[in-house]
Amino acid sequence: MKFPRSLAIRIALPLVLATLPIASLVPVSAQASGSTVNVVGYSVVKTIFSKLETAFQATSAGSGVNFSNSFGASDTQTNNVANGQSADLVNLSYTPNIGQLVTAGKVPSDWASQEFSLGGVNVALTGSRQQTTYPTPGILTDSAVVFVVRAGNPLKIGTSWLNLVKPYTTTSGSGKTKVTTKHTYGIVTPNPTTSGSARWNLIAAYAGAIGAGDSSSKAQSYLKSLLTDTVAQPVSGSAALAAFLGGTGDVLLSYEDDALAAVAAGDAVQIIYPSKTILIENPVALTKTGLSNPAAKAFYSFLFSTAGQTILAQNGFRPVLKSVWKTAAGSFHSFGASAMPITTFDPSGWTVLNGQFFDPSSGIVSQLEQSIG
């Protein structure tokens, strides 16, 4: 079962669904043997791209194709590509990263239509002809913000965002030596100045507070408490997970797919699904150099194929291809009608959110962090 789609909670602005430009399907002809595809991505997708590339190389289109990979914090990776790092295909955390590369002249402005023209997937179709789970073009995978806690959830952390900032007590000794101590949960989330994951997390936290009935001012106060209780802000989503696995903090705010990978690897953690959450949409695009690289175009097409989307689904990434989702849905947490409705962020929507929350001088989060010190 997919996320609910009714829009009951609005996050400071109307968020408009991206529309797909009309295009004609262009056959992907590889002639790719011996070619190299330069892939640049956000940190969390490092392992899955290794699997995708291996599977692609086993196909006739991918035979003889080589890959050069670079993965890291999404904003850092974006800046690197904008400043000249080689990239044929970019898979980044959120759409403003791609927008920045459009501005830098690295990615064409119609990048979202590549899903149709090269991937063969038409997101504009609806009803019985619908091909994607959500009508946002240019998105490779979906995810959600989740809480990650220690195995067994020893601190009994619940599903409410508001409970993350409420103190809990422990008792030691007995009789006259009995001592009750108040504690706050140590939060781990990436740094929003480098990580798209961090921005998804904090927007989800703010929206979770709004969804619980808080006013905008109270939701901002909640964010301040959450940031005050944050004990580590690693550079990326993967670095945040590594810090948490190393013993830092009590609760990690994470991509669902990264959390599922940790569980699958046998790490001593478990996932708590918030009662309110938002859809994460991670975009992919061929750069201008990628569009002139037949191997890169063939690999892009593979990512949106049934085979590529199935590999993603089997590794904790919610597939965008509806036919694959129908088969994979049972492997994922089902968000009921009371969960926060899924909100699709188009580039203009995220531009507003970035300014409102993350502008270095005037953004809500930036000012809160400055006040905390």
pLDDT at 154: 95
**Model confidence over 154-189: pLDDT tens digits?**
999 999 999 999 988 766 667 677 766 788 999 999
Shared-domain flag, residues 162 and 268? yes
The pLDDT of residue 1: 38
Domain total in the chain: 2
Structural domain range at position 186? 143-279+363-372
Say how many Å lie between the first and final Cα of the chain, rounded. Answer: 43
In a domain, 307, yes or no: yes
Q: What is the pTM of this model?
A: 0.88
What is the widest separation between alpha-carbon atoms in the chain? 81
Indicate whether 46 and 166 sit together in one domain.
no
The reply to whether 257 and 313 lie within a common domain is: no
Name which residue leads in pLDDT, 6 or 36.
36
Task: Indicate the DSSP class of residue 16.
Answer: P
What residues have CB less than 8 Å from 291, skipping those under 6 apart? 108, 297
Q: Are residues 295 and 273 in the same domain?
A: no
Whether residues 208 and 298 share a domain: the answer is: no
- How confident is the model over 292-319, as pLDDT tens digits? 999 999 999 999 999 999 999 999 999 9
Confidence at residue 361, expressed as pLDDT on a 0 to 100 scale: 92
Q: How far is CA 334 from each of CA 164, 204, 246, 273, rounded to the nearest angstrom?
A: 22, 18, 30, 10
- 297, 254: one domain: no
Residues 166 and 267 in one domain: yes
Tell me the pLDDT tens digit for each residue of 84-143.
999 999 999 999 999 999 999 999 999 999 999 999 999 999 999 999 998 899 999 999
In angstroms, the CA 295 to CA 291 distance is 9
Q: Is residue 8 in some structural domain?
A: no
The answer as to whether 346 is a domain residue is no
Tell me the CATH number at 109.
3.40.190.10
More confident call, 340 vs 334: 334
Which pLDDT value is given to residue 27?
Answer: 42
pLDDT digit string, tens, across residues 2-30 = 443 333 333 433 333 233 333 334 344 44
